[in-house]
Structure 1
Amino acid sequence: MQSEYPFPDAPIDAGTALFDQYGELIFMHIRAQVQLREDAEDITTEVFTAALENQPILHATRSEQLAWLRRVARNKVIDYYRRQKRRPVVVLDSIADSLLDEALNNPEFTFLMREQQTQLHQHISELPPLQQHILRLRYGHSLRCAEIGQMVEKSEAAVRQLLSRSIRQLRARFTTLEKEERA
């Protein structure tokens, strides 16, 4: 059976020795109390971040470390549930599906969406070819910036910068178009 532990390849250094020793145990402890795996991962990260900020615990005995980590995990889980009470969870998938169904049955919405898609394609076609290509690879083919960088022989940072610049240009064109339509 594959472990549910989300951090199997944590780097080994002085700051992560505690995590390497107790990470899986604390994660499983939290996971048993929290419904969503992602929330358990986040809480586990919070626990070990607190441990890194509390240098004396890094030099305590193993039993003291484990007791401290469990106490912090317990408190973080309590905090998590307190936040959940104040901020009720809404299942976005069901709302999104109902809104989409409602929107798709609305001819005006369908027309506006097609118009926006046409404008977007027009604006993209006005970008330089490299920016068009990078946008297509990133959003059309869901490639990561590092993969795109290899394909276009640019660094990952350069690809990120080009993507950011392209999106800013598209956003500026849409903003200008909206202002012109309002005027």
Structure 2
Amino acid sequence: MTASSAEPMFSTPRYATEVSRHTASRRIVVAQQASLATRLLHHPAPTLLLCLGETLPGSVEQESLPSSEALYLRLQMLLEQAQAGTRLYVCGDESFLWHVHRLARQAGLLGDEIELFKQGARRRLYCVHCGHIQDIGSEGECTCGQCRVKLFVREHFSQRLGAYMGVCIDPDSPYAPEVRS
């Protein structure tokens, strides 16, 4: 094995480890859990924290939303009204990060205006056989929730889909075994 083969695949996402010091007219921090975002809140620009279910003590403007769907709708509204110079900071697992990333890009933010901070092991998997997308953990193999094909989780990540690619483990038996009743 060479040193270059130990490096991650070019498509594997790389996440921020510390907050950049880019200037911003407004900062929106979106977090699955407010406690994960504390290190993202210390910045001179006006900051709004959107999070699920909990809030943090302190003086930062916060909105706690009851569900992911409510958070996504609120974020979409904020981004549609955002002025130039708004930056987005997202903290959560990969499933959450890439859903928020897709919303932000659809609203017109550039990739450079979005910073992603990975927390947690949940990620999305795309079955290349049937097109089903499902959430998985860190496992390297799983069964597709729709077509039941046993999948190998490749390192290749599609930013467009926000998911890793799942391919059939056994090409000699590409279909799920039939269930007999």
Q: Give the TM-score range, shorter chain.
A: under 0.3
TM-score where L is the length of structure 1? 0.23
